[in-house]
Amino acid sequence: TRTPVNVTVTGAAGQIGYALLFRIASGHLLGADVPVKLRLLEIPQGLKAAEGTAMELDDCAFPLLRGIDISDDPNVAFDGANVALLVGARPRTKGMERGDLLEANGGIFKPQGAAINAHAADDIKVLVVGNPANTNALIAQAAAPDVPRERFTAMTRLDHNRAISQLAQKTGVPVSEIRKLTIWGNHSATQYPDIFHAEVAGKNAAEAVSDEQWLADTFIPTVAKRGAAIIEARGASSAASAANAAIDHVHTWVNGTADGNWTSMGIPSDGSYGVPEGLISSFPVTTKDGTYEIVQGLEINDFSRTRIDASVKELEEEREAVRGLGLL
Ligand code: NDP
């Protein structure tokens, strides 16, 4: 029998947590034959609700779920963690300046990074979901100098999945026929969903669409503003699709991309494609055996270059701001 994998989830009592935990426990994160132990981290006010969720998890009698621990102490919650999903974050409230938001999140992600550094398992993989995800990942990474830096990643998979779905609808193919789509940059309104290297049923996507106006005026803004459109329609945020994307991100990282395809992940830049080294930016990546590589050699046209640069500039500004706060 396999040793259970320890999966730590922060903000476990939140909306995304509620959509996420049951799928982790039922084997969708790592595989249908991998037992898991859940470690739930919440702030003190969230502990009781987390206990309620744990009761429901018990009541599902998931065969793969080998235990649930709940704590408000990161040193306990990250102890022995193999996978960490950092979901809990400080939401931007009305009138809050970006500096205040980054500072509040520094107070969350810095101690979590330190706890990961001190207590997580050697093979720890971290996915940051809580916003601003890329920069929160940078803060946690900076506080974990002993963890290989490529283990800190940020989620752009929801943007990736949203873009695939929009492109499939536009071209009238099933989503399974869309390959090699890329999200570049920040998980924010400046993100750039790139179809110039994507394929629709084996044909180049930009040629299949052949409509630059749709690309610029419909596709890109629809993908970037989807979260707001869902809040407007549902009266609540896109928690289930965010949780699904977190599952996809980790599952792909651990189990690999298919031949002839890639995915998008926010990862520390090695300088590829002119993205300054160290920024946690979204790239096209292939994954294999728990590691990832940036897809190299893609030709970047002017349309893409401008948009990638704009998103990367925003990431640089966020990095400067957290540097100014002494968080890096
Ligand atoms: P959610 O579970 O809905 O969201 C959590 C975070 O995920 C937010 O930062 C949110 O960003 C982000 N997010 C990323 N993508 C999406 C998406 N597509 N849709 C919605 N959110 C997205 O928030 P809740 O307020 O329901 O729950 C947060 C929980 O975290 C609370 O229970 C709170 O107690 C806890 N918390 C725990 C901490 C800890 O464990 N130390 C620290 C802070 C909070 P955005 O704000 O941009 O929507």
Report the residue among 87, 134, 241 best suited for mutation to probe ligand 1: largest number of ligand atoms under 8 A from its CB: 87
Q: Is the full-model pTM beyond 0.95?
A: yes
Ligand 1, residue 13: give the atom nearest the CA.
32
**Which of helix, strand or coil describes residue 145?**
coil
d(CA 222, CA 152): 28
Answer positive or negative: Cα dihedral of 76, 246, 113, 323: negative
Q: Which residues are annotated as part of the binding site?
A: 11-17, 92, 98, 105, 112, 129-131, 162
Ligand 1, residue 91: give the atom nearest the CA.
46
Report the residue among 72, 131, 248 best suited for mutation to probe ligand 1: largest number of ligand atoms under 8 A from its CB: 131
Which residues have C-beta atoms less than 6 Å from ligand 1? 10-11, 13-17, 41-43, 46, 87-91, 108, 129-131, 158, 227, 237-239, 242
Ligand 1 centre distance from Cα of residue 304 (Å)? 31
Q: What is the DSSP string of 85-107?
A: EE-------TT--HHHHHHHHHH
Ligand 1 centre distance from Cα of residue 277 (Å)? 28
Tell me which DSSP letter residue 40 carries.
Answer: E
CA angle 78, 81, 83 (to 5 degrees): 115
Token pair, residue 273, equals 């494609």
Q: What's the Cα-to-Cα distance from 219 to each of 192, 197, 227, 265, 299, rounded to whole Å?
A: 10, 15, 14, 20, 21
Which one of 160, 187, 197, 249 is the catalytic residue? 187
**Predicted pLDDT at 94:** 83
Ligand 1, residue 92: give the atom nearest the CA.
46
Ligand 1 centre distance from Cα of residue 275 (Å)? 28
Active site residue 160: no
Pairing verdict, β 280-288 and 199-200: unpaired
Ligand 1 centre distance from Cα of residue 88 (Å)? 4
Ligand 1, residue 74: give the atom nearest the CA.
41
CA angle 151, 246, 26 (to 5 degrees): 110
Closest-CA residue, ligand 1 atom 24, reads 14
Token pair, residue 109, equals 């992600």
Under 8 Å between Cβ of 41 and 71: yes
Q: Which residues are annotated as part of the binding site for NAD(+)?
A: 11-17, 105, 112, 129-131
Query: How far does Cα 265 stand from its chain's mean position?
Result: 7
**Predicted pLDDT at 2:** 87
| Helix and strand counts by DSSP (H, E) for the chain | 12, 14
H or E element that contains 288: strand 280-288
Residues of the chain with pLDDT under 70: 1
Ligand 1 centre distance from Cα of residue 319 (Å)? 21
**Predicted pLDDT at 97:** 84
d(CA 247, CA 201): 25
**Predicted pLDDT at 92:** 82
Tell me which DSSP letter residue 29 carries.
Answer: T
**Predicted pLDDT at 106:** 95
Q: Which residues are annotated as part of the binding site for substrate?
A: 92, 98, 131, 162
